[in-house]
Amino acid sequence: MMEKFVPDMYYQSIYRIDYEKLYNMGIKIIIFDLDNTIAGITAKIPTKEVIDLMFKIKEIGMRPVLMSNSEKKRVEPFRNALEIDSCASARKPFKKNYLKIMNIYRVKNEEVACIGDQLITDIYGANKMGMTSILINPISKKDRFITLFNRFIEKIIIKILEKRDLFKKGKYYD
Ligand SMILES: [Mg+2]
């Protein structure tokens, strides 16, 4: 059970991820979380760095998809600026919208990687689906109100994982 909270890879940020490696692993779809993964919670539009990164990922031959538990109104400006598909109010870690994405792009779970900053939503959701799970550090310490409870639980989970030598905060790996 606790293993489901352990990310397959762990990087400092989305810019440190080896996307060529993901491509060579057979990844076709990269699901990105929004809040605190590609943008801080107060940002209304993506930075040039994020726009460039999405372009680079497409050039490598993979498709980035935005999947956020935030509402459509929050997600849409990012989707438009990044010119990628999106799924808002996704209710991660529930399976429904992961299945929907697999269905739309006709990919298998092992062809999907998920990147996010939260163990309970992004990592647990991806692991449950058998997708490659990639944790990054949250962009800022500020969270949306709705995330505060998740962070509280997350702290407890991290403590247990550290005790069992399954995961250590700040110890990056791929
Ligand atoms: Mg997030």
Calculate how far, in angstroms, residue 94's C-alpha sits from the geometric centre of ligand 1: 15
Q: What is the pLDDT of residue 1?
A: 84
pLDDT tens for 47-91 read: 999 999 999 999 999 999 999 999 999 999 999 999 999 999 999
Taken in order 119, 122, 128, 133, the sign of the CA dihedral is negative
Average pLDDT of the segment spanning 110-133: 98
Angle CA 124–163–5, to nearest 5: 5
Q: What is the pLDDT of residue 89?
A: 98
- For the cut 90, the answer to whether the pLDDT of residue 142 exceeds it is no
Mean pLDDT score across all residues of the chain = 97
Phi/psi for 85 (5° steps) reads -75, 160
Calculate how far, in angstroms, residue 138's C-alpha sits from the geometric centre of ligand 1: 7
Rounded Cα distance, 164 and 174, in Å:
19
Q: What is the pLDDT of residue 18?
A: 97
For 76, the token pair is 């849409």
Domains and CATH numbers, the chain: 2-163 (3.40.50.1000)
Q: What is the pLDDT of residue 167?
A: 97
Calculate how far, in angstroms, residue 64's C-alpha sits from the geometric centre of ligand 1: 16
